[in-house]
Amino acid sequence: MVQANTLYRHVLSVTTDYLGPAAQRFVDRQIDSHINKPPDKLTKKDLEKLVEWSKVSMALLTNDQQLVDGYVRSLLKLTGDEA
């Protein structure tokens, strides 16, 4: 599923801007825990749910709401890119 892999890579790229080397572990954990599928099977349909859970997790790491909102906006843009 080339499209899912691309989507996963884009999610990783966005998350890396915030979590650096921990990005892949973070994203894999969110997908595994809340989407219940392997990361390379991520689809656009899963993305909204992933964004919701990632927003909650990111909010636990920082009090900077602007930063969290920026992360969410960047992830939501991917739904538009995939359309």
Partner 1 sequence: MRTYNFARHKPTSRAYLLFVLFAVIYIALTFWLPANPTTLTRYNLTPERARGLSLAVILPYIIIWFIAFFGYARLKRYVNLIERSPDGQALSRIANGLLILAVGLPVAAILGKLLSYTGNTHPHLIHITTITSVYIDLLIGLLGMAAVYRGAQRLALTVNQKVKTSPSYVAMISLALIGTSYAYLTFTNPARQFPTEELGRAAYYLPDFLLLVTVVIPFVAMWYMGLHAAAYIQAYRRGVPGVLYRSALGYLASGIVFIILSRVTARYLTSLNTVVSTWTLNYLLIAVYCLLALIAIGFILVAKGANKLKKIEEV
Q: In the complex with partner 1, which residue's Cβ is closer, 14 or 42?
A: 14
Tell whether residue 62 is a contact of partner 1 (CB under 8 A): yes
Tell whether residue 74 is a contact of partner 1 (CB under 8 A): no
Among 4, 11, 19, 35, binds partner 1 (CB under 8 A): 19
Dihedral of the alpha carbons of 59, 50, 35, 12, in degrees to the nearest 10: -100
Element (H, E) at 69: helix 65-82
Cα diameter, the chain? 37
Provide the binding-site residues for partner 1, judged by CB under 8 A.
16-23, 25-26, 57-58, 60-62, 67
